[in-house]
Every structure is written in structure tokens, then in C-alpha cells.
Amino acid sequence: MRKTDIIVLLQLCVLLPATQQDDGGWMTRGKDRIAQLGPCNIVVQDGSLTQEEFLERYAYSEPVVIKGASHNQLFQSRTRHTALLERYGHMTIRLSSANSYSYAKRDISFRDYCDHHLHPQQLTTLGNETFYFFGDNNGDEWQDILDLYQHPPYYLPYHLPALSFGLAGPGTGVPFHFHGPGFAETIWGRKRWFMYPPDVNPNFHPNRTTLQWLIEDYPKMKDDPNLYECTLLPGEIIYFPDKWWHATLNLDSSVFISTFLSP
């Protein structure tokens, strides 16, 4: 896909009328034309995957996408645009820069963020100049809604879960980084994931965005057998093992939540 094509496709998410599919009010417009879903070469399992199979096949070795294992209809309902703004619009939130190491922080009201910062990612804007809402807001003020979230039905022995809730506009994401294992679920919108095993260093610049990487670098490495990728739809879960490199790209205005597993 050419750079000009992607610019036009991202602009369409603002200009096109809303589709008939429910988007939770997050202005996921013209969603089938914003960006390509891309291939999926990560193993996809359904909700029949057992805890024993998860531990044996994926927990310590490779990522997996799980469909049909989420039971978060109530959480999804409470994270609609109108519901979140009504309850949390007045609240001050902390944004993180969307680069690999998230050095910078910025405080803003949740309503201001939703009203003015969910526009499509600009190709000329670097990751360290892009601010998004994820991870720094799990204090008592958000606990009531986090308590509604049903964790994925799998676990790692001797690890405890910690939730991080987020919301970001189309074209945004975080470039390659790694940390401990965990799950991530898309609540509204579509989210594309790219992964590399721990022993393979991806070619990327930590301050450039995933969108820039997709346009400039991905065409040269899309056939790399070490590159894992898949796009998550609402209600789908991805598991990333310990120290696996991963980058994300929101194809729509997306609401998402991660369950980080700490020893």
C-alpha cells in the first residue's frame, strides 16, 4: 500500500458516515476502509482451549489469539462513549507518549481527550510527540469499572494479574517493546498486533510510530518468518509470552484493556 493511500484511508474515518455496525459511539467510521486487516499467522483458538493446553502449548513458547473466551458484555456496555463521558468526563487523566519507552507524560481532562485527541494519527508526527491514554490511570477513581472486567480464563502459575485500561484514536499505537507476559483484549474497534520472538531484534526506531513503521519498513519484512501478526476484533484476546517484542496499531478509535502478569 502506498503512503498516499494510507493517508486517504485514515482521513476516511472522519469523512465517511458511520456504518450500521455498533461502534460504541467511538466514531469508528467507514471502518472497513480505514486500513487493511492484514494477514494473521498467529494461532487462533476458540474458547474450548483448556488451561492445561494453554500452559503446554502457548504460555512459555508462542502467542495465541483466543476467540469466544471473553464474557465482558457488561464491561463493553459501560465503556460506550456516552457512558464513560458521563461518569469520567470531569476526571483528570494522565497520557503517555506513544514511543517504545513512554518517557513523557501529560495531564488532561478525560472529556478533552475524547473530544480533541481521538483524531487519526498524522504520518509526520513521531511517537514521542503522540500522547495516548493507557496504563497510568488505574487508581481508585477507575476501580469501579475495572471491577466489572472479567479476566481471561487462563493464568500463569505464581503470577498475579494487573489491569491497564486504554483508549486511542485510529492510526495510533505503540512501536516495538517488550515486558512480562500478559493478555490484551479489544473492547471496541479493531487493533492490529505485530510480534517477534525474544531472540529476534526487530528493525525499528523507538520514537517513530507503528504507522510509520507499517508504511516504510513492513513491506520489506512482511514475509519474514519471525514476524507474527494478527488483527483483533471486539471481544477477542491475544496472549503474549514473556519478553516477546510487540507493536500495536489501532485501526479504529479503540477501547482496550491488558492483563499484565507479574511474578
> What are the tens digits of pLDDT across the range 1-16?
444 444 434 433 333 3
What residues of the chain score a pLDDT lower than 50?
Answer: 1-20, 31-33
Chain centroid offset of residue 94 CA: 17
Task: Answer for the pair 59, 241: CB distance below 8 angstroms, yes or no.
Answer: yes
The length of the chain is 263
Cα–Cα nearest to 167, from 115, 104, 244: 115
pTM of the model: 0.89
Q: Which three cell numbers stand for residue 229?
A: 501478526
Specify the pLDDT at position 82.
95
If 0-12 CB within 10 Å is exposed, 13-18 middle and 19+ buried, where does residue 11 land? middle
Sheet architecture: strand order including 228-232:
228-232, 191-196, 245-250
Give the chain's domains with CATH numbers: 3-24+32-174+190-253 (2.60.120.650)
pLDDT at 142: 87
Please name the residue that has the C-alpha cell 514476524.
Answer: 227
Looking at the DSSP assignment, which residues form a beta bridge with residue 261?
161
User: Is the CB of residue 66 less than 8 Å from the CB of residue 47?
Assistant: yes
